[in-house]
Structure 1
Amino acid sequence: VGMLVDNTIVMLENIYRHQLDGESGLDTGTRAAAEVQSAIIASTSTNLAAILPFLFISGMIGLLFRELIVTVSSAIVASMLIALTLVPALAARVPLSEPGKLRLWLDKGMDKLRHLMGNMTNKLLHSRLLRLLLITSMLAALVPATQTFFSVKQDFLPKMDEGRISIYIRADTGVTLDVTDGYVKQLESIAARLPFVQSIFTTSGGYVFGRSQYESQNNASLIVQLSPLSERKLSSYAWIKKFNKIVEGRRLAGVSIRAHVSGIRGIPLGRGSDEISLRVQGSDPDTLDAIAGNIVTALHNIDDIRNITSSSEEQRQEIKIEIDRERAATLGLSAEQIGEAIRLAVTGLVISDYFEGGHSFDIRIKLPEADVNRIDLLKSVLIEHTGENRQPVYLADVARIHLIRAAPDILRENQQRFVEVSASLKQGISSGEIEQQVQNSLRTIVLPEGYGIYDAGISKTLQEGRDLSAILLGLALFLVFTAMAIQYESLTNPLVILLGIPFTMIGVTIGLKLTGLNLSMPVWLGLIMLAGIVVNNAIVLLEYIELQRKQGLALNAAITEAVRLRLRPILMTTLTTIVGLTPLANAWGDGGEMLKPLAVTIISGLSFSLLVSLVMIPVLYQLFHIRR
């Protein structure tokens, strides 16, 4: 909203200035529009050039910000068309009204400010020492600001409190569903008595992940939804702390309980909700389990990590049947016949059907459900054979049957088996600051040949986001420069404007430090948008300098006059953008945390860009044009 009025402000201010000079009639709008038309088109082009590359980005970043970019781009184009057509047509027909006391007071204050800026610019342009001091000071501030910017804690996305808490329960292997359900009921009771609970969704005997559901009688999960953030005084992390304290007091034996804040709904960053996800890939299951155990041990040495689990930890009993092929061949039996007999015993055989109420029902014969897992009964399964010797053959005669422990799921990626170790972070810990600690702990683990550890969690996403953001920022600067070069048919003025952009990093760093925000994708998006926005003031200023020089003014006089006369529109466009972003910067309402870093980045960078536009740009322009 703040950016949409920028073009109109530039146009109206120029028309208003012509009217103050005594001009009237419809030609006033035409003359005033002609003076700023080029600047409005150039500033709109640079805004679009900076953010449109986002439309060609796929993956998580494209999913998050595509609608925002389309909305902003469309609105900016519409505002340009209105400013170039409707605004001058209407403004020229509105007569200049008699100024009131407030306007006279504001105009008087603006005149003093213009006079002050004009004198300061004039002194700066005529003093080599002041110019050298200015450039040296700005460079001296830019270097530590950039270093501080990259030392800020890093996250892929800001931490958001949607009030959704996941509680995972895992009882000892072999417990019945009734025992697991008993644990669940106790935890449900604890959660329900805590404040601000809106709903509890329970899955007993397994868990639900996305559209998939997994059955396991010793597993369960609770999804607790708290009230909206505006209606509660307790954060999700504080709620979990209270919950864990009560659970620890119960001293529940034979059960593992993990509670953590769920991520943003619809934005999966791994197989689960944990920030850390390390995968060990290889061929042998036992070796994978051993390496995963070493990783779990290494992660336990990092203080800021909790809820460490491995997909190989949970194992269940399976009945393994190994066929003695030589014995089976002697008796005239094939593996297919033996397998058919086992299938018949376990899953049964449909022998007929019957109809009732217009529906067909299968009639199936099989072992009773309770007997399927009994090894002694499986050994006595009779195998039908067609050999000459019609003596009965039992499964125990041709196979060895025994119990083994095995993982409930076989996980594969790119046709390679893997075991996953996951963990979550303590409150207030960013993904970026824990990333290096995890990597250091993994260096102590010796891997056999053919095995590898790779990151599949938030660290991987964070690195991809950083790399892509750097590419997009570089592309934005290049496209902004190209758009200005085409508009000006010159490289000098675009280069002057482009050189002023890096100094806005000083303001951005100050803003992030003052608000305590982490470096995340919305910050990078704000930087990219800022690259297109901060050049607007410089474009408006340089356009008027060029106009004054064409009318015969000397270089320094043209620069001073441009700073003096373009002060009002530069202040107005900057302030409207800042005010328009203030609600976002305050994160009012649920979900406001997502775009707060973007708003803070633009506000702080744009505020500092006033100094760059009104002080640095005139000096840089003089340096590039003094010998021309």
Structure 2
Amino acid sequence: AWAALGGALLAMAVVWLFLGDLRRSLIIGSVIPMAILVTFVIMAASGLSLNLMTLGGLALGIGLLVDNTIVMMENIGRHQQQVGKGTPAQRALRAASEVFSPIVAATATNLAAILPFLFIGGLVGLLFRELVLTLSAAVLASLVVAVTLVPAWGARSGQGAGREALADRPLHALQRWHARLLDAVLRHPAWTLLPFLLALALALWALDHQRRSFLPATDEGRVWVNLTADPGTPLEDTDATIRRIERLLEEDPRVAHVFSTIGGFVFGRTEYRSGNRASISVELRPAADGLYHTAEWSHRLRARIRELGLAGYRVRVRPARLRGVRTGRGNDDLSIRIQGPDLDMLARLGDAVVQRLEGLPGLRNLQHSYEARQMQLAIVPIQARIAELGLDPARIADSIRAALDGVVAGDLLQDDRSVPIRVRLTRRDRSPEQLATLVVAMDENGHPITLGSVARITLQPEPAQIVRDQQQRIVDISASIAAGTDREALQRAIDQRLADLELPTGYVRYDGGSLATLRAGQRTGLWLALLALFLVFVVMAVQY
């Protein structure tokens, strides 16, 4: 709202600077609130609400609101100086009739240039649909006010013979220079064509070599520090390592707040427990220039953490992404996915891809989804031994399930509530050594048969979670992309390094990040730009 008000005041100041007539400047300035009121009516009819995007459209449209009015008012002022050619109302009507067609044509071309972008879908359409609609409504409202109210006000503005405007002398000098330049160009038309062709070639070259990204980089002053230890690392060791990093952060004057999560992570309403995983959320204070410079600060923090020499730990530092906005299916800037049935093979393929991409300029925090592993209890029955003893495997499984999951032994009444009492082994008694002594059956002589005599009990690392895409198992290789990196050039380098990667039968590699969205958006944007250009030519052809 304040941006729109500031834009309106600046627009009125510029109009007064060039016209030099306070009355006509006030008339043009009064068009802004009137056009905004008409815009609100159009927005209400279209079902639009006041939000960040519609207010942004209004702020962008403030300058466009006075364009038609300036043309109309300037022509009315010129006719009002022609005393003796009718009444002021007749002169205003004649002036309005002269510029009515050009004003309608200019408004139609503006609408033809921006309305095709309403056909963009996905995240871009969600972000900019209301902005485009509001901007279109503002342009249409400026046309309505310029051809109705402005001529009525202009008829009463007098002859317009005000004092000389502050910008008249520079404008007159510019007009004289333009007249000399135009005379030279008209005498040598070929001189115009050659610079135009050179400028067109330079523009096409710049467009092809322009750095591409889906959304501009954001800097909110938040950084994530993710720590993953080797499988089986005790929670106490993970906590001690996190405390060392916290002390490092406490020494930095740029750090405002630190929040640590140890022993897993929380995603939405889901809680994942893993003793070898931890994360730190860091909120920074602005630097002396008022900016956060999160990328530079993260780079320095990586170097300081490497100096700690944390053997057996992998620490990744990345600036926080814009919350709630995801440009791809992955959780980071880059996402390469391999689909296949076997988890071990997916993990090996993930290791191979990470190894090939390491050291690639522009990539940070390279990892895959099966690097994080946790120790799981594996009980493998010895079929020959079970058959020799004549035991029922189902009963052995029931005994193990009762020991680990527990058995409801009764209910406890507490505050008119019934709480089930579950009896099971404590976590301390679930080690392979303790489970080996668990009695699962009795032999013919009444002697106890322990689990260790009929099964192999081990702790082995397994993936902390199984990642799926469209119900299919995948490995997600992700990385952060450094600020200023050309996405297209980076993707070409990635494709070159992965060109000779052979995938087993039944395994497919595809892009899961924002690159596909970026390329699709570029194709859609190109077609819509061509459509807008075509519509502009159609409007001009129909008008003239």
TM-score (normalizing by structure 2): 0.79
How do 1:59-138 and structure 2 match up within 5 A?
59-100=122-163, 102-103=164-165, 106-107=167-168, 110-111=171-172, 113-114=174-175, 117-118=178-179, 120-121=181-182, 124-125=185-186, 127=187, 130-138=188-196
* Residue equivalent to 1:239: 297
The question of whether the paired residues in 1 share the 8 Å contact of 2:225 and 2:281 is answered with yes
Name the amino acid aligned to 2:195.
S
Q: For residues 414 and 270 of structure 2, what CA distance do their matches in structure 1 show? A: 33
Q: For residues 57 and 4 of structure 1, what CA distance do their matches in structure 2 show? A: 25
Name the amino acid aligned to 1:451.
Y
Equivalent of 1:175 in 225, 228, 233:
233
Q: For residues 378 and 50 of structure 1, what CA distance do their matches in structure 2 show? A: 76
Q: For residues 451 and 319 of structure 1, what CA distance do their matches in structure 2 show? A: 29
How do 1:313-324 and structure 2 match up within 5 A?
313-322=371-380
The question of whether the paired residues in 2 share the 8 Å contact of 1:372 and 1:378 is answered with no
Q: Does 2:520 align with 1:464?
A: yes
The question of whether the paired residues in 2 share the 8 Å contact of 1:166 and 1:223 is answered with yes
Q: Which has the higher contact order (CA 8 A, sep 6+)?
A: 1
- Residue 390 of structure 1: how far off its partner (Å): 9.5
The question of whether the paired residues in 2 share the 8 Å contact of 1:328 and 1:334 is answered with no
- Residue 174 of structure 1: how far off its partner (Å): 0.9
Equivalent of 1:252 in 300, 310, 315:
310
Name the amino acid aligned to 1:15.
I
Equivalent of 1:37 in 74, 96, 100:
100
The question of whether the paired residues in 1 share the 8 Å contact of 2:114 and 2:132 is answered with yes
The question of whether the paired residues in 1 share the 8 Å contact of 2:222 and 2:294 is answered with yes
Equivalent of 1:222 in 280, 292, 315:
280
- Residue 325 of structure 1: how far off its partner (Å): 7.1
Name the amino acid aligned to 1:292.
G
Q: Deviations 1:84-126 (Å, cap 9, x if unpaired)?
A: 22222212212134422x42x644654554455456546644x
Q: For residues 439 and 326 of structure 2, what CA distance do their matches in structure 1 show? A: 47
Q: Does 2:461 align with 1:405?
A: yes
Q: For residues 210 and 439 of structure 1, what CA distance do their matches in structure 2 show? A: 34
1:470 match: secondary structure: helix
- Residue 48 of structure 1: how far off its partner (Å): 2.3
Equivalent of 1:455 in 511, 514, 524:
511
Matched-pair identity in % = 37
2:63 match: secondary structure: coil
* Residue equivalent to 1:144: 202
Count of residues in correspondence between the two structures: 480
Q: For residues 509 and 399 of structure 2, what CA distance do their matches in structure 1 show? A: 42
* Residue equivalent to 2:347: 289
Name the amino acid aligned to 2:459.
L
The question of whether the paired residues in 1 share the 8 Å contact of 2:437 and 2:450 is answered with yes
Moved more, 356-365 or 276-285: 356-365
Name the amino acid aligned to 2:156.
R
1:214 match: secondary structure: strand
How do 1:338-417 and structure 2 match up within 5 A?
338-374=396-432, 376-377=434-435, 380-382=438-440, 395=451, 399-417=455-473
Q: Does 2:114 align with 1:51?
A: yes
* Residue equivalent to 1:3: 64
Q: Deviations 1:379-402 (Å, cap 9, x if unpaired)?
A: 6253699xx999977655765544
Over 3 Å counting, the alpha-carbon distance change for 1:123 and 1:133 in structure 2 is closer
Q: For residues 425 and 187 of structure 1, what CA distance do their matches in structure 2 show? A: 24
* Residue equivalent to 1:442: 498
The question of whether the paired residues in 1 share the 8 Å contact of 2:220 and 2:292 is answered with no
- Residue 298 of structure 1: how far off its partner (Å): 0.9
Over 3 Å counting, the alpha-carbon distance change for 1:330 and 1:51 in structure 2 is farther
The question of whether the paired residues in 2 share the 8 Å contact of 1:345 and 1:372 is answered with no
Q: For residues 324 and 151 of structure 1, what CA distance do their matches in structure 2 show? A: 65
Name the amino acid aligned to 1:404.
Q
Q: For residues 158 and 17 of structure 1, what CA distance do their matches in structure 2 show? A: 46
- Residue 222 of structure 1: how far off its partner (Å): 0.9
The question of whether the paired residues in 2 share the 8 Å contact of 1:345 and 1:381 is answered with no
- Residue 37 of structure 1: how far off its partner (Å): 2.1
Q: Does 2:369 align with 1:311?
A: yes
- Residue 34 of structure 1: how far off its partner (Å): 2.0
* Residue equivalent to 1:477: 533
The question of whether the paired residues in 2 share the 8 Å contact of 1:162 and 1:229 is answered with no
Name the amino acid aligned to 1:94.
S
The question of whether the paired residues in 1 share the 8 Å contact of 2:81 and 2:160 is answered with no
- Residue 278 of structure 1: how far off its partner (Å): 1.2
Name the amino acid aligned to 1:18.
H
The question of whether the paired residues in 2 share the 8 Å contact of 1:379 and 1:401 is answered with no
Over 3 Å counting, the alpha-carbon distance change for 1:211 and 1:478 in structure 2 is farther
2:150 match: secondary structure: helix
The question of whether the paired residues in 2 share the 8 Å contact of 1:263 and 1:273 is answered with no
Q: Deviations 1:205-246 (Å, cap 9, x if unpaired)?
A: 112345544221111111111135686465112222332333
- Identify the structure with the greater helix proportion: 1
Over 3 Å counting, the alpha-carbon distance change for 1:37 and 1:357 in structure 2 is same
Q: For residues 334 and 263 of structure 2, what CA distance do their matches in structure 1 show? A: 26
Please list every run of 5 or more consecutive structure 1 residues that lacks an aligned counterpart in the other structure.
494-628
- Residue 5 of structure 1: how far off its partner (Å): 1.5
- Residue 329 of structure 1: how far off its partner (Å): 12
Over 3 Å counting, the alpha-carbon distance change for 1:29 and 1:296 in structure 2 is same
Please list every run of 5 or more consecutive structure 2 residues that lacks an aligned counterpart in the other structure.
1-61
Over 3 Å counting, the alpha-carbon distance change for 1:275 and 1:76 in structure 2 is same
- Residue 78 of structure 1: how far off its partner (Å): 1.9
Name the amino acid aligned to 2:75.
N
Q: For residues 158 and 213 of structure 2, what CA distance do their matches in structure 1 show? A: 54
2:525 match: secondary structure: helix
Q: For residues 340 and 478 of structure 1, what CA distance do their matches in structure 2 show? A: 74
Name the amino acid aligned to 1:302.
L
- Residue 59 of structure 1: how far off its partner (Å): 1.8
* Residue equivalent to 1:587: none
Over 3 Å counting, the alpha-carbon distance change for 1:331 and 1:19 in structure 2 is farther
Over 3 Å counting, the alpha-carbon distance change for 1:25 and 1:300 in structure 2 is same
* Root mean square deviation, CA, Å: 3.1
Q: For residues 14 and 325 of structure 1, what CA distance do their matches in structure 2 show? A: 100
Moved more, 165-174 or 307-316: 307-316
The question of whether the paired residues in 2 share the 8 Å contact of 1:196 and 1:226 is answered with yes
Over 3 Å counting, the alpha-carbon distance change for 1:330 and 1:428 in structure 2 is same
The question of whether the paired residues in 2 share the 8 Å contact of 1:154 and 1:433 is answered with no
2:156 match: secondary structure: coil
Q: For residues 471 and 381 of structure 1, what CA distance do their matches in structure 2 show? A: 73
Q: Deviations 1:264-323 (Å, cap 9, x if unpaired)?
A: 222123466532221111122222222222211111242432322122222222223345
- Residue 338 of structure 1: how far off its partner (Å): 4.7
Q: For residues 321 and 48 of structure 1, what CA distance do their matches in structure 2 show? A: 70
2:485 match: secondary structure: coil
The question of whether the paired residues in 1 share the 8 Å contact of 2:223 and 2:283 is answered with yes
TM-score (normalizing by structure 1): 0.69
* Residue equivalent to 1:422: 478
Over 3 Å counting, the alpha-carbon distance change for 1:97 and 1:475 in structure 2 is closer
Name the amino acid aligned to 1:419.
V
Q: For residues 530 and 439 of structure 2, what CA distance do their matches in structure 1 show? A: 71
1:354 match: secondary structure: strand
Q: For residues 113 and 78 of structure 2, what CA distance do their matches in structure 1 show? A: 31
The question of whether the paired residues in 1 share the 8 Å contact of 2:274 and 2:374 is answered with no
